[in-house]
Amino acid sequence: MAGVILGAVILIFGGYSVSTYNSLVAKRENVRSRWSQVENQMQRRADLIPNLVNTVRGITRQELEVFTRIAEARAKLLKPDATPQERVQANAQIETLWPQLRVQVLSLAEQYPELRSNETFQRLMDELAGSENRIAVARRDYIQAVQEYNIATSRFPSVLVARLFGFERAEDYFKAAPEATRVPQVQF
């Protein structure tokens, strides 16, 4: 009789362990997938920036330092052998410079009416605004996936299975660069 009870307990624990393991794998992959979506949207924005720069340069004939700095950050972001950390740093640089670029471009649009009426410029500004919204949504989804995964790996009794199979806490939630909290000051 004791053998039957022991067998039932082992069977129940084994079934629970398999179920929890599969759930943790799915949550971990969801975190990775959500981060890929964040990177995908950052890539989309990075691809749009050169078009905006060329449109503005072509009309105003002005060289703006922030364009060059964003182009350099974009090059780092797109470097094929860049590590995830280097990509995060390059994106943080773009995040920091982006408000300055927007202010400068909008200021130029006020100074140059032909820029405001340029259809390509308007379309690119709309695309970039849309990209910012997509990035915000992707980040929110990523943060939510990390939260769900971290809760699943921390709650009892799933924490036992998580530790048994080496599931560790997910990387920190998305954090903005410290510079991103400062209001940009633009001077011409």
Answer yes or no: is 187 within a domain: no
Answer yes or no: is 36 within a domain: yes
Answer yes or no: is 2 within a domain: no
Length of the chain: 188
- For the domain that residue 140 is a member of, what is the CATH number? 1.20.1440.20
Confidence (pLDDT) at 65? 64
Confidence (pLDDT) at 100? 73
* Assigned token pair, 140: 């929110």
Confidence (pLDDT) at 90? 77
Nearest to 42 by CA among 81, 16, 80, 73: 73
Question: How many domains does one find in the chain?
Answer: 1
pLDDT along the chain (188 residues), means of 10: 85 87 90 85 78 65 61 74 76 75 73 71 78 85 90 89 88 62 47
Nearest to 127 by CA among 18, 10, 43, 44: 44
pTM over 0.85, yes/no: no
**What does each C-alpha distance from 55 to 50, 75, 121, 128, 186 come to in angstroms?**
8, 19, 6, 13, 20
Answer yes or no: is 6 within a domain: no
Nearest to 31 by CA among 170, 153, 188: 170
Nearest to 31 by CA among 144, 127, 115: 144
The parent domain of residue 61 ranges over 17-181
Nearest to 111 by CA among 183, 61, 185, 54: 61
Answer yes or no: is 145 within a domain: yes
Confidence (pLDDT) at 186? 40
Give yes or no for a contact between 53 and 88, defined as CB atoms under 8 angstroms apart: no
Nearest to 109 by CA among 126, 131, 133: 126
Confidence (pLDDT) at 170? 83
Confidence (pLDDT) at 63? 47
Confidence (pLDDT) at 187? 44
Confidence (pLDDT) at 82? 75
The helices-and-strands tally (H runs, E runs) of the chain is 6, 0
